[in-house]
Amino acid sequence: MEPANQFPHDFLWGAASAAYQIEGAPHADGKGPSIWDTFAKIPGKTKNGTNGDVAVDHYHRYHEDVALMGQLGLKAYRFSIAWSRIIPDGDGAVNEAGLQFYADLIADLKAHGVEPVVTLYHWDLPQALQDKYGGWESRKVVDAFAKYCRVVFERLGSAVKYWVTFNEQNVFTALGYRWASHPPNVKDIKRMYAANHVVNLANATAINLFHELVPGGKIGPSFGYGEVYPATSNPADVLAAVNANQFNNDWWMDVYCRGTYPVKIMRTLQSLNIAPEVTAADDQLLKSAHPDFIGLNYYHGGTVEAPTHHTPTTTKQLTNIDPYLMAGDAENGLSPEKLLFHSVENPDLEKTAFGWEIDPVGFRVAFRQLYEKYQLPILVTENGLGALDQLTEDHQVHDDYRIKYLQQHLLALKGALDDGVPVLGYCAWSFTDLLSWLNGYDKRYGFVYVDRNDTDAKDLARYPKDSYYWYQKVIASDGETLQD
């Protein structure tokens, strides 16, 4: 047993990425188009029309990137597989060249002592499945996803221990089907809940298939979680926070870990005629799948007051769409939040340059709540700071603000370990700078600066930031330097 004041010696000090945001090469070696290849070309949908055609060209430069991971001392690297590289039309012939790319990447990672953590779906559905079936609104896509999973499990399962099924299902379903900020560019909350249910069926199917084919491996979903606080000690606000946590978190996590939807939220959705249809067979499938761990993506939580609050408040009402806290009106006027809670700003928290609250204590709260509810190990699959980094003339990036952010959150993680929560590892978002889905290339998260901007890919040169060398020392010391 590790001493209480240390990180476990097998702790997975990692970093993360997603295929569309880094790979580029959208047509290389037989790859088919994804819904993001299509959506990003719609005028006005992304900042300055940015897209992933080049991204940071990881597809052609992965050897260079993995070498930098090795120099950093990284213990784990979480990345996603582009489904349409493996099966270009989503459910037809397998593309051997696409499989070989990921096999080669995994081999290179392992040669550098880096544990691969593979995400099966990070938002880039093959466009052909969107065109043929209507994407995640069709149960036929569950079968197509199972076929894809079988291919990669059989080919790569012996080399990869840790797998993630879906990345932030709460985000891609809401932004894709309610707010039309992501593909498939829909504004219909009833369709959102219907598609979300189909994704739940695909998740359960993949987990069961994995346990059949890769008995020594570990698999779980990766969820964008943040605890929601009451704005005051008013009991009505406390009840609103209970509602908000069930609406924003438990609606997904209960299904993943227990196979059931929260009763209160289901009743609310049914009262609005927007609840998904759940058959007896669906119920049986959802209950049959048991994840091995919870993947936690943490950036921030939220604060709410009662929806019928009439007393004066000093907190500011949130009006912007936030991917981690649903708030606002749907296009058709149906807004279950209005029955459950009102989101407000938290006056006790600072914000990033992009308006996200910074709450490292909330990170510890998230660990505690998730573990007490579901009794599963937790792997941090994303946590990081998006910022407007500046490259100096001598190719340095002095990102002390990122170091402060990561240090605060890792100390909170250490607190959760001390509390008794089993945390497998920490994959910071992200390893290199990458394409922000909607915010182009100026919003940077990486330990490694990539020299490009929204309009010019330049030479895509890689330059380690100050945070890279800081994290290198943290990893080498098993976290002891976090106290420095």
Active-site residue, selected from the candidate residues 96, 382, 393, 480: 382
Nearest to 470 by CA among 392, 379, 419, 408: 408
Residue pLDDT, tens place only, 286-296: 999 999 999 99
Phi then psi for residue 361, to 5 deg, are: -65, -35
Q: What confidence category does residue 309 fall into, taking pLDDT thresholds of 50, 70 and 90?
A: low
DSSP 389-429: ----TTS----HHHHHHHHHHHHHHHHHHHHT--EEEEEEE
Is-catalytic flag, 382? yes
pTM above 0.75, yes or no: yes
Q: Spell out the domains of the chain, with CATH numbers in brackets.
A: 19-302+349-483 (3.20.20.80)
Residue pLDDT, tens place only, 166-222: 999 999 999 999 999 999 999 999 999 999 999 999 999 999 999 999 999 999 999
Q: What confidence category does residue 308 fall into, taking pLDDT thresholds of 50, 70 and 90?
A: confident
Using a 10 angstrom Cβ sphere, with 0-12 exposed, 13-18 middle and 19 or more buried, the burial of residue 27 is: exposed
